[in-house]
């Protein structure tokens, strides 16, 4: 059956997943785009695909008309399929982890996640003050990396240190040039918020602080800085 009405109860329910509160309650989220289909299926988190064209994806498919897809679309003027996914399940912590401390810009969060996958890190931990992993902007910037890279939430630095991880925090002051420091596993590499950097609490717990030497400006965008340092320790 093709759904033709924006007032359909199922469509209204799907639209609610655009709200953070409802996503948390249902433990489901939406992604949109052909590039997301394969990684979502591979991760086994994809539950259903909503599209305007018939195709066998191996999971339930709900056909809708263009006006209905426009209603549930996450992006303006997009008619690519929408995938309904279950929240991702945490996996065992790896040895080479990245910790994002209060990074609130969703584009930066998604970009860093994507970069971590590109450079073969074991996982990304988001502090409670980070942008929501399942927001459309984080998902879009990640380019599907969340389906292939373990993402964790609400794991404390204290806990990680107790588990034997070396805590390496980025900082602008009283820090060593990252080029002159070698990392050995297991470690947690910490990047801080755009405005405040890594919190004092984490700096005080860190085994080492590192920085990028820069000229003519006081700081770099956190996703740019992360990319530079992540490539160094890949």
Is the domain of 113 the same as that of 153? yes
Cα of 19 vs its chain's centroid, Å: 17
On whether residue 91 sits in a domain, the answer given is: no
Is the domain of 217 the same as that of 135? yes
Is the domain of 54 the same as that of 103? no
What pLDDT shows up at residue 85? 98
What pLDDT shows up at residue 181? 87
What pLDDT shows up at residue 107? 97
Which stretches of the chain drop beneath a pLDDT of 50? none
What pLDDT shows up at residue 29? 97
Is the domain of 161 the same as that of 134? yes
Among 86, 111, 143, the domain-final residue is: 86
- Residue-wise pLDDT for 95-131, tens only, equals 999 999 999 999 999 999 999 999 999 999 999 999 9
Is the domain of 194 the same as that of 226? yes
**How many independent structural domains does the chain possess?**
2
C-alpha span between 152 and 127 (Å, rounded): 9
- How big is the chain by its Cα radius of gyration, in Å? 20
What pLDDT shows up at residue 229? 96
Is the domain of 138 the same as that of 191? yes
What pLDDT shows up at residue 173? 86
At CA 123, angle to CA 26 and CA 184, rounded to 5? Answer: 160
CATH of the domain at 204: 3.40.1280.10
Cβ neighbours around 208 below 10 Å, total? 15
Range of the domain at 38: 2-86
Among 54, 86, 118, the domain-final residue is: 86
What pLDDT shows up at residue 195? 85
Is the domain of 132 the same as that of 228? yes
Is the domain of 9 the same as that of 108? no
């Amino acid at each position: 059956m093709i759904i033709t009405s924006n007032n359909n109860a199922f469509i209204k329910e799907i639209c609610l997943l655009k709200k953070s509160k409802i996503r948390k309650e249902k433990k489901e989220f939406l992604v949109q785009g052909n590039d997301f289909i394969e990684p979502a299926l591979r991760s086994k988190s994809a539950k259903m695909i909503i599209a305007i064209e018939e195709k066998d994806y191996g999971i339930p498919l709900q056909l809708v008309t263009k006006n209905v897809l426009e209603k549930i679309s996450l992006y303006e003027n997009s008619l690519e399929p929408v995938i309904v996914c279950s929240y991702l399940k945490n996996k065992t912590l790896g040895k080479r982890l990245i910790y994002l401390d209060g990074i609130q810009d969703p584009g930066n969060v998604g970009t860093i996640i994507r970069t971590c996958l590109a450079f073969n890190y074991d996982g990304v931990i988001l502090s409670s003050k980070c942008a929501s992993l399942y927001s459309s902007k984080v998902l879009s910037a990640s380019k599907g990396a969340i389906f292939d890279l373990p993402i964790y939430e609400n794991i404390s630095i204290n806990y990680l240190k107790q588990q034997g991880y070396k805590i390496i925090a980025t900082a602008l002051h009283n820090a060593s040039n990252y080029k002159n420091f070698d990392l050995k596993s297991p470690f947690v590499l910490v990047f801080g918020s755009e405005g405040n950097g890594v919190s004092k609490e984490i700096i005080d717990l860190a085994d080492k602080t590192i920085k990028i030497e820069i000229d003519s400006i006081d700081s770099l965008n956190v996703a740019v800085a992360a990319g530079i340092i992540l490539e160094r320790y890949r």
